[in-house]
Amino acid sequence: DTGVSQDPRHKITKRGQNVTFRCDPISEHNRLYWYRQTLGQGPEFLTYFQNEAQLEKSRLLSDRFSAERPKGSFSTLEIQRTEQGDSAMYLCASSLDRGSEASQETQYFGPGTRLLVL
Amino acid sequence: AQTVTQSQPEMSVQEAETVTLSCTYDTSESDYYLFWYKQPPSRQMILVIRQEAYKQQNATENRFSVNFQKAAKSFSLKISDSQLGDAAMYFCAHVWGAQKLVFGQGTRLTINP
* CA-based nearest distance B16→chain A, Å: 27
Q: What pLDDT, on a 0 to 100 scale, did the predictor assign at position A1?
A: 55
Q: What pLDDT, on a 0 to 100 scale, did the predictor assign at position B98?
A: 56
% of chain A with per-residue pLDDT over 70:
94
Q: What is the pLDDT of residues B54-81, one digit of tens each?
A: 888 999 999 999 999 999 999 999 999 9
Nearest by CB: A56 against B50, B100, B103: B100
**Would you say B68 and B75 are in contact if contact means Cβ atoms under 8 Å apart?**
yes
Nearest by CB: B95 against A40, A43, A104: A104
Q: Do A42 and B93 touch (CB under 8 A)?
A: yes
B56 and chain A: CB distance < 8 Å anywhere?
no
Higher pLDDT, B97 or B26: B26
CA distance A89 to A39: 8
Q: Is the pLDDT of residue B107 over 60?
A: yes
% of chain A with per-residue pLDDT over 90:
78
DSSP code per residue over A59-99: TTS-TTEEEE-TTSS-EEEEESS--GGG-EEEEEEEE---S
Amino acid, res. B103: F
Q: What pLDDT, on a 0 to 100 scale, did the predictor assign at position B43?
A: 82
Nearest by CB: A42 against B31, B46, B91: B91
